[in-house]
Amino acid sequence: MTVNSNVLRSDSTDGAVAYPLDPLSGAEIEAAAAIIMNSEYATATIKFVMISLAEPAKTPALTFEGAGRVPRRALATMYDAAAKLVYEAIVDLGARVIDAWKPVPGRFPSYLVEHMTGVEEKVREDPRWQEAMRKRGVTDFSLAMIDPWPAGYYGPQDHYDNSPLICRPLTFMRAAPSEHGYARPVEGLIVTFDLDAMKVIDIEDHGVVPFPPTAGNYSEKFMFDPNNRPAFSAFRDDVKPIEITQPDGPSFTVDGWRVQWQKWSMRVGFTPREGIVLHEIAYTDRGQTRPIVYRASLSEMVVPYGDTAPTHWNKNVFDMGEVGMGFSANPLTLGCDCLGEIFYFDGTVNDSSGAAVTIPNAICMHEEDYGISWKHTDFRTGEVEVRRSRRLVISMICTVGNYEYGFFWYFYNDASIEVEVKLSGVLTTGAVAEGEDPRWGKMVAPGVYGPNHQHFFNFRLDMSIDGAGNSVYEVDSIPEPDPALNPHHNAWITRDTLVASEADGARDWDWSTGRYWKIANPSKRNELGSPVAYKLTPKDVVPVMVQEGSYIHDRARFVQHNLWVTRYDAAELYAAGDYMYQSADMQGLPQYIADDAPLEDTDIVVWYTVGAHHVVRPEDWPVMPCAYTGFHLKPVGFFDGNPALDLPPSPPKPCHSHHAGLPVADVAGES
């Protein structure tokens, strides 16, 4: 593996003039916190939840190139446990003043940094928890893993007026230090924990279930233990090395946070809540830079569980809005998360005191060969033309408790875009007594089962197809509706339906019509006279098992439709609302479309939800092979022909050819 040692650090703008959309540097984060703490608004009990860039308003040109100086401002979210209030502040970093200060009553914040690290210690010290563990034969409490799961919602007692900020930790037991604790879940034990006071409020014990009998370790030091399940005798010895080299270096260039790759250009960003944010995505077509997406990011995700057992029924974590994808980003320095010539961006977040915390190598960027882009063989002449496809990959991997989520943005040299989520890590597990069969899950090892669950990810795409005036059409393929025009019963057409206003903005995929959605600019035409457009095509669509009448139904309304279209509003960034922690009321997209704003030829935002339907398998244990889901954005009439036509042929080069019955030879081939 060749790794580029030139690592961009997100604090590299310290002392320099930052582009208006660049993430806050570490110095800017700490300056924002200091300005607030030195102001009249400061209290001894206020803590910082998130500090990120307060993005400037869009310009008519959809770029800040040549726009002159734009003030750098920070958006700070804070929580005062004593006042039980969330506050928001806008801080002008240059003038060192607070431009706006707003209390947000009736809402809870996402996790503070210490919530993820301090809960385990406090639960382990609680006598009631210790007594419950003794009932299960546990005396060495140091081996307990206590995951601080967000509270979910149990009912009105969890409402803001009646409850502190809480979480409901789950306990797992290692058999020895560094073992895989998720193999031994403590079933039936529910802790309610006060995050304001950092103490246990209550313990529910629904009865002792024996610990599963076998280990589930997957690291090298445990791999070949015969007591492990599954156990192997050795690593495979037939895996030959693959080396990816780029002798002339990568094809992309990086200037601060701006990336250019072949005909693509964009600005990479990072926030504590969203993680990767991409701005000003554009494509250069015959010398003209054409905007496609102004801002793209993950907007929310939720993991509802379909198990009614006491330990599992309330699990419905909004990992982004309740924890933060940026906070959860891995430093990609161990192992080979990416192969090739790699460029890393650091991510900078804050702790609860307002100090900057750098996550080194939080975002990975590299190129990948992706097989054939296009090919044709003229069978009469034997002439062959073929071009290789390549893609630029911008990715991050986030660990939230037991699960890993990889978020991958792919840019292809045929001007298409793909978004892919890779799901890995460890199942959240339950235990059953010997001989029992779980009704709402599947066994993965003796005594261990994985509950039925789903993962939903909503992506916010602030579209700008050749400008801000866009319209969205739902495109269905249907049999020719006029019998007189279809005498052979074989004809079919496509039907475009304009999504005219937000009242019609919640849309569902239809397998029977091969439905996709087209985002067009009615003011710009291609050489055939059609509006230029991109289409959004589903990759995987799963049924939504969240049922009306459940608490999660109202908390995660965005999962009820595959696609939503709204008129642009800078304040509408998150599909489930700004603050969903410990709240049962409907927020986010249903509210955004309530005013029924017109959507034709205007500045629109497309929100797309992808899902993963997880009925677990023994093969998902003890660590899960990656599952994949996502979607594509493809040009449809945006260009006057194949945009990959100008890809150069690959030069002739030796390749290793293996023929049955013949010795291996180096054969020169042209691709």
Please identify every residue annotated as catalytic.
Answer: 319, 403
For the record, the structure tokens of 49 come out as 């939840």
* CA separation, residue 311 to residues 149, 207, 390, 601 (Å): 11, 11, 46, 49
Q: How far apart are the first and last CA of the chain?
A: 24
* CA separation, residue 74 to residues 17, 78, 375 (Å): 15, 13, 50
Burial class (CB in 10 A: 0-12, 13-18, 19+), 232: exposed
Those residues with Cβ within 8 angstroms of residue 565's Cβ, 6 or more apart along the chain or in another chain: 472, 499, 502, 505, 507, 599, 604, 605, 606, 607
HSE value, Cβ hemisphere, 13 Å, CA-based, for 136: 28
- Return the closest-CA partner of residue 520 out of 434, 591, 580, 602: 602
Those residues with Cβ within 8 angstroms of residue 232's Cβ, 6 or more apart along the chain or in another chain: 223, 224
For the record, the structure tokens of 36 come out as 């607030």
Q: Which amino acid is at 502?
A: E
* CA pair distance 580, 171, nearest whole angstrom: 24
Per-residue three-class SS string for 278-291: EEEEEEEECCEEEE
Q: Which amino acid is at 249?
A: G
* CA separation, residue 12 to residues 20, 252, 440 (Å): 14, 19, 50
Greatest alpha-carbon pair distance for the chain in Å reads 84
Q: Which amino acid is at 1?
A: M
User: Which residues is 497 bridged to in the sheet?
Assistant: 474
Assess contact for 474 and 486: CB atoms under 8 A. Answer: no
Assess contact for 339 and 330: CB atoms under 8 A. Answer: no
- Return the closest-CA partner of residue 277 out of 253, 257, 298, 300: 298
Burial class (CB in 10 A: 0-12, 13-18, 19+), 240: exposed
Assess contact for 129 and 123: CB atoms under 8 A. Answer: yes
Question: Measured at the alpha carbon of residue 175, what is the angle toward residues 169 and 178, in degrees to the nearest 5?
Answer: 80
Assess contact for 524 and 467: CB atoms under 8 A. Answer: yes
Q: Which amino acid is at 383?
A: E
SS3 state at 376: strand
- Return the closest-CA partner of residue 147 out of 174, 125, 116, 177: 116
The alpha carbon dihedral of 287, 292, 298, 302 has a sign of negative
The alpha carbon dihedral of 269, 273, 274, 276 has a sign of positive
Q: Which amino acid is at 131?
A: E
For the record, the structure tokens of 282 come out as 């554009």
* CA pair distance 385, 376, nearest whole angstrom: 6
* CA pair distance 570, 565, nearest whole angstrom: 14
Between β-strands 189-194 and 252-255, what pairing exists: parallel, antiparallel or unpaired? unpaired
Q: Where would I find the beta strands (DSSP E) of 508-603?
A: 516-525, 531-538, 563-567
* CA separation, residue 633 to residues 252, 372, 390 (Å): 21, 19, 16
DSSP 162: G
